[in-house]
Amino acid sequence: MTVMTDEQIRHIVELIVARLQARSGNPATLSQEQLRHASVLKLFLTHDSLSITRTDLPFICQLAEGDRDNTAVANLFEALSLGMPVCVTLPGRSLAHLPLRDLARVPCQWRDAEGATVALHLKNVLSYRDISGRRGGWLVTSRKTVITALAREAAQAQHIQLVKQE
């Protein structure tokens, strides 16, 4: 068994710190198609976060299902397993058709094509408490979710667009 000297350990730590500093504040933005062909490990070494743009509903459904036969989905999950924060742009016209429950389990941030936040709400009731503190963006609920009058007013006042599943 080889024992490392203090100098060797210090050198390794300096290399790691330098690499982390070099990738800090350097996000990678890829389309769904580019993600399919990307080397996630190379992205991880040079970027501190990942944004996926130009997605379509079939990809989002496969992502929600965890379908790793889709290379882009497998690469996204690999990025998550490496600890990279991932933000996915959702296709705007598809918000009412998202697989809400399954998608909410995927630890990503969600945005629309203009960069507005998309929040996924799984509870049976949407109350003022769920709206307070949010500013702008979208809030997607199931079709069975009851939206209180106060929550509806707060959403309108805070420029939050409510979308019920179809």
Domain-wise residue ranges, the chain: 1-94, 116-166
Reported as type and span, the H/E element at residue 157 is helix 149-157
Residue 145's closest CA among 96, 91, 89, 88? 96
Percentage above 70 pLDDT, the chain: 100
Confidence of residue 127 (pLDDT cuts 50, 70, 90): very high
What pTM was computed for the model?
A: 0.83
Residue 118's closest CA among 84, 162, 60? 162
Residues 6+ apart with CB under 8 A from 116: 136, 137, 138
